[in-house]
């Protein structure tokens, strides 16, 4: 299933939700929302990702193959904070032989200008080489700069002009977007929502995000380099190549273990997904983004951001499949267990189908979960097992074979044990009656595939989950295979499907 990211603004819904009114009040200002969404998108994320990527940093320095006295230019973001500039200087030896152009300020400025009639402009013309003489450099190194190159073909020609024969271009990138992010987000509905609420808050669209990757760079630089290599890891990538010479011509040289190199390669401890905020980010975005209480408040608002009331219309084909097969007829008795039953339209639709002669026993479970979160935020110690799942006693007071339909729209993953609860629901269902389940899953296998595909998307999502006081791993999830096992052979003509982080399951009591 393909999506055009940012289809409507989820913030229009966020600001109207009753349960978010107190939290969201501070973010009614579009300017403030945009500032905080930029902090979600970038604040400390690039440094955090490179901090984790020790092997990629080793490969980067090895590809640089720096020797004493060479002349190099480094263009990038966080050149000093990341430790890359000190490491390169220590390997070249002569400080004036390493030119450093820090581009974080213009990059953040471009991000701040994203709300405009013409859209975002995260790239610009790289004129940094214009004043350099032909064949004057041994190494041209871009660290976190590739996302911002406006015209790569022209830039590659300029790099070729100033690079000496035998010189190298080395590009290490943690892109502000990237193909991996845009491939990862649609894998799972909630992950898709994480990206949408962040982009919408900044006034960005999918097309505004940089998408150049190592394969593109290999094609662009092919006329200028005798050989090149490129690979990626969780959205980060490394591309490097040499002007003239062969691959075996001293192509790789492990860096000397200077103190600066050791510091660059050492992984620093991380207690919070906001730990790597920099002085420049605070100065450009706002000192407020360092406020832990505000980090948590905004994270909680956005974690419920592109919520169920936004996601359900985006995945209408899945919802339609459920409704097309929902056996609810005039006069039927229906047991309904789920979340947001009125606002997602479940109960209004059901009333139309069964009419005045029908009977609905509805159990709204959203408030149970919200209450648990509020207690968690107030400092109460709630065991993980009790945070997200609980017993389902909803059918226990009804007679045997009472309902024509047992329907669980968005009521699956909060059940503590389907093996234990399934027989209790079947008891009250008439023979031939239908059980129907629909769920927008959270932290399902496709979600984990997505966050392992795009490190930047993981960083954004972790800021939200951290604000809630929970982890990805503790969130409960059921697949249709588990549901089929729980109901065993008690159903006939069953159907199950697990698309895009959703599940749909139905069957009929034998």
Residues 429 and 402: their CA atoms lie apart, in Å, by 6
CA 67-72-76 angle, to 5 degrees, is 125
Residue by residue, pLDDT tens for the chain (510 residues) are 333 334 568 888 887 776 666 777 788 888 999 999 999 999 999 999 999 999 999 999 999 999 889 999 999 999 999 999 999 999 998 777 889 999 999 999 888 875 544 444 789 999 999 999 999 999 999 999 999 999 999 999 999 999 999 999 999 999 999 999 999 999 999 999 999 999 999 988 888 899 999 999 999 999 999 999 999 999 999 999 999 876 655 566 788 899 999 999 999 999 999 999 999 999 999 999 999 999 999 998 888 766 888 899 989 999 999 999 999 999 999 999 999 999 899 999 999 999 999 999 999 998 877 777 778 777 888 877 777 888 999 999 999 999 999 999 999 999 999 999 999 999 999 999 999 999 999 999 999 999 999 999 999 999 999 998 889 999 899 999 999 999 999 999 999 999 999 999 999 999
Alpha-carbon dihedral sign for residues 31, 282, 182, 469 = negative
Q: Are 150 and 46 in contact (CB under 8 A)?
A: no
For the CA atoms of 381, 384, 388, 393, what is the dihedral angle to 10 degrees?
A: -90
Range list of β-strands (E), 376-462: 403-409, 429-440
Q: Are 142 and 75 in contact (CB under 8 A)?
A: yes
Q: What is the pLDDT of residue 364?
A: 95
Q: Are 159 and 224 in contact (CB under 8 A)?
A: yes
The Cα-based distances of 310 to 112, 183, 316, 349, 414 in angstroms read: 26, 20, 11, 18, 20
Tokens 């969404």, located at residue: 37
Closest CA to 469 of 311, 299, 343, 341: 299
Delineate the domains of the chain, giving CATH numbers in brackets: 11-265+274-303 (3.40.50), 315-441+478-509 (3.40.50.150)
Residues 71 and 261: their CA atoms lie apart, in Å, by 18
Residues 321 and 463: their CA atoms lie apart, in Å, by 34
Q: What is the pLDDT of residue 4?
A: 38
Q: Are 117 and 48 in contact (CB under 8 A)?
A: no
pTM of the model: 0.91
The Cα-based distances of 468 to 12, 159, 286, 328 in angstroms read: 22, 47, 23, 37
Q: What is the pLDDT of residue 16?
A: 77
Q: What is the pLDDT of residue 19?
A: 65
């Amino acid at each position: 299933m393909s999506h055009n990211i940012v289809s409507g603004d989820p913030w229009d819904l966020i600001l109207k939700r009753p349960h978010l009114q107190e939290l969201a009040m501070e973010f009614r200002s579009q300017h403030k929302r945009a500032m905080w969404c930029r902090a979600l998108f970038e604040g400390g994320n690039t440094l955090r990702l490179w901090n984790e990527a020790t092997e990629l940093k080793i490969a980067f320095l090895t590809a640089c193959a720096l020797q004493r006295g060479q002349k190099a230019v480094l263009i990038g973001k966080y050149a000093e904070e990341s430790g890359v500039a000190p490491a390169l200087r220590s390997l070249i030896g002569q400080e004036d032989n390493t030119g450093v152009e820090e581009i974080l300020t213009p990059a953040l400025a471009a991000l701040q200008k994203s709300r405009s009639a013409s859209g975002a402009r995260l790239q610009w013309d790289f004129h940094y080489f214009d004043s350099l003489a032909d064949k004057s450099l041994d190494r041209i190194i871009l660290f976190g700069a590739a996302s911002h190159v406006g015209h790569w073909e022209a830039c590659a020609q300029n790099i070729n002009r100033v690079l000496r024969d035998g010189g190298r271009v080395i590009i290490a990138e943690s892109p502000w977007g990237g193909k991996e992010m845009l491939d990862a987000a649609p894998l799972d509905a909630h992950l898709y929502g994480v990206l949408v609420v962040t982009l919408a808050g900044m006034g960005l669209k999918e097309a505004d995000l940089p998408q150049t990757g190592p394969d593109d760079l290999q094609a662009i630089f092919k006329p200028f380099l005798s050989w090149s290599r490129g690979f990626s890891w969780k959205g980060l990538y490394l591309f490097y190549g040499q002007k003239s010479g062969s691959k075996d011509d001293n192509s790789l040289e492990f860096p000397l273990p200077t103190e600066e190199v050791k510091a660059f390669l050492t992984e620093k401890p991380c207690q919070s997904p906001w730990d790597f905020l920099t002085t420049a980010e605070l100065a450009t975005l706002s000192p407020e983004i360092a406020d832990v209480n505000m980090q948590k408040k905004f994270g909680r608002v956005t974690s419920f951001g592109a919520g169920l009331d936004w996601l359900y219309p985006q995945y209408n084909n899945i919802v339609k499949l459920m409704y097309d097969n929902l056996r609810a007829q005039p006069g039927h008795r229906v047991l309904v267990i789920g979340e947001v039953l009125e606002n997602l339209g479940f109960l209004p639709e059901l009333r139309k189908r069964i009419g005045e002669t029908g009977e609905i026993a509805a159990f709204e479970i959203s408030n149970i979960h919200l209450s648990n979160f509020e207690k968690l935020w107030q400092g109460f110690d709630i065991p993980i097992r009790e945070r997200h799942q609980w017993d389902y006693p909803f059918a226990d007071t009804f007679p045997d074979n009472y309902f024509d339909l047992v329907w669980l729209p968005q009521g699956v993953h909060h059940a503590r044990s389907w093996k234990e609860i399934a027989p209790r629901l079947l008891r009250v269902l008439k023979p031939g009656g239908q059980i129907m389940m629909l769920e927008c899953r959270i932290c399902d296998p496709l979600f984990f595939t997505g966050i392992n595909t795009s490190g930047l998307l993981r960083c954004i999502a972790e800021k939200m989950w951290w604000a809630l006081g929970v982890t990805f791993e503790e969130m409960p999830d059921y697949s249709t295979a588990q549901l089929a096992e729980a109901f065993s052979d008690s159903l006939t003509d069953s159907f199950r499907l697990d698309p895009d982080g959703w599940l749909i399951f139905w069957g009929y009591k034998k």
